[in-house]
């Protein structure tokens, strides 16, 4: 390992021999870090935290902090992180609240400066969170989502895949896949056409997403949404499958309602 002499690595940590640790960095006793991870100067990785391969923790980031949830009652809650994530300056990521549910982050994500990921969040892969975006506890973010800067996301919200949340928005409801939301409180303003194109969706898929957008803009009883979507979208289409899978994961006990055209 390339470890700066001023770094503190507590006994009990398990770091791959290719890990780099910079000046004045701190690594806690329960941390595990995989191949070619870089923990830069003045960064902290603590708690029951597992890092996959080639993660980069930038200066002054704090990964693996204790949950802020007042329901915390001891134990050894975890934080599990995949591969090739960037945690930029002053990012904070907290472990779960109980031993049963870890905070979990996938791979190939970019968390820009001052991003906060709270306890028990389940964050997918290929996600970008811009500066000062904040996830409250128990938030779910699906793959390829983009969350603009200075955007807080309320606890228990479920953000679908391929979405775009504009900077400076306040997201307090579940956001379906492919949609674009903006405002305080955030409302649907379109589909993430650019994001879909960048991720290989065909023009037919983009048109399907726009039809779904028009359905979500109207007030509907949640239970009937699958019926309306299935009636208007291509039966064997990729877009319909992703939307129905997303709706199927929403839990009525915690769901805050879907973002629509009304604030």
98: tokens are 């109980």
Q: Pick the catalytic residue: 58, 119, 138, 154?
A: 119
The answer to whether residue 137 is catalytic is: yes
The answer to whether 36 and 53 are in contact (CB under 8 A) is yes
CB contact set of 175 (below 8 Å; sequence gap of 6+): 157, 158, 159, 160, 163, 165, 181, 186, 258, 259
The answer to whether residue 120 is catalytic is: yes
The domains of the chain, with CATH numbers, are 2-138 (2.160.10.10)
Per-residue pLDDT of the chain (263 residues; tens, 9 = 90+): 799 999 999 999 999 999 999 999 999 999 999 999 999 999 999 999 999 999 999 999 999 999 999 999 999 999 999 999 999 999 999 999 999 999 999 999 999 999 999 999 999 999 999 999 999 999 999 999 999 999 999 999 999 999 999 999 999 999 999 999 999 999 999 999 999 999 999 999 999 999 999 999 886 667 788 999 999 999 999 999 999 999 998 876 544 678 887 66
The answer to whether residue 119 is catalytic is: yes
Q: Pick the catalytic residue: 120, 142, 174, 205?
A: 120
| DSSP result, 68-126 | --TT--SS--EEEE-SS-EE-TT-EEE--SSSSS-EEE-SS-EE-TT-EE-TT-EE-SS
The answer to whether 159 and 141 are in contact (CB under 8 A) is yes
Q: Pick the catalytic residue: 64, 82, 137, 195?
A: 137
């Amino acid at each position: 390992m390339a470890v700066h002499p001023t770094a503190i690595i507590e006994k009990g940590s398990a770091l791959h021999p290719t890990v780099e640790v910079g000046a004045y960095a701190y690594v806690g006793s329960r941390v595990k870090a995989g191949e070619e991870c870089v923990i830069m100067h003045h960064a902290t990785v603590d708690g029951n935290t597992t890092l996959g391969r080639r993660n980069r923790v930038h200066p002054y980031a704090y990964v693996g902090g204790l949950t802020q949830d007042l329901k915390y009652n001891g134990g050894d809650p975890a934080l599990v992180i995949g591969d090739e994530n960037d945690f930029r300056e002053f990012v904070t990521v907290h472990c779960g609240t109980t031993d049963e549910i870890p905070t979990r982050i996938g791979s190939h994500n970019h968390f820009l400066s001052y991003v906060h990921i709270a306890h028990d969040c389940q964050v997918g892969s290929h996600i970008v969170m811009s500066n000062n975006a904040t996830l409250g506890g128990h938030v779910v973010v699906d793959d390829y989502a983009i969350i603009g800067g200075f955007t807080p996301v309320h606890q228990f919200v479920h953000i679908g895949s391929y979405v775009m949340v504009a900077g400076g928005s306040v997201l307090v409801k579940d956001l379906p896949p492919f949609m674009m939301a903006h405002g305080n409180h955030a409302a649907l303003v379109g589909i993430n056409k650019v994001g879909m194109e960048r991720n290989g969706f065909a023009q037919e898929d983009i048109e399907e997403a726009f039809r779904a957008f028009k359905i979500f803009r109207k007030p509907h009883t949640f239970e009937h949404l699958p019926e309306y979507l299935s009636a208007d979208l291509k039966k064997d289409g990729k877009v319909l499958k992703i939307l129905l899978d997303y709706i199927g994961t929403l839990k009525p006990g915690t769901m805050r309602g879907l973002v629509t055209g009304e604030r």
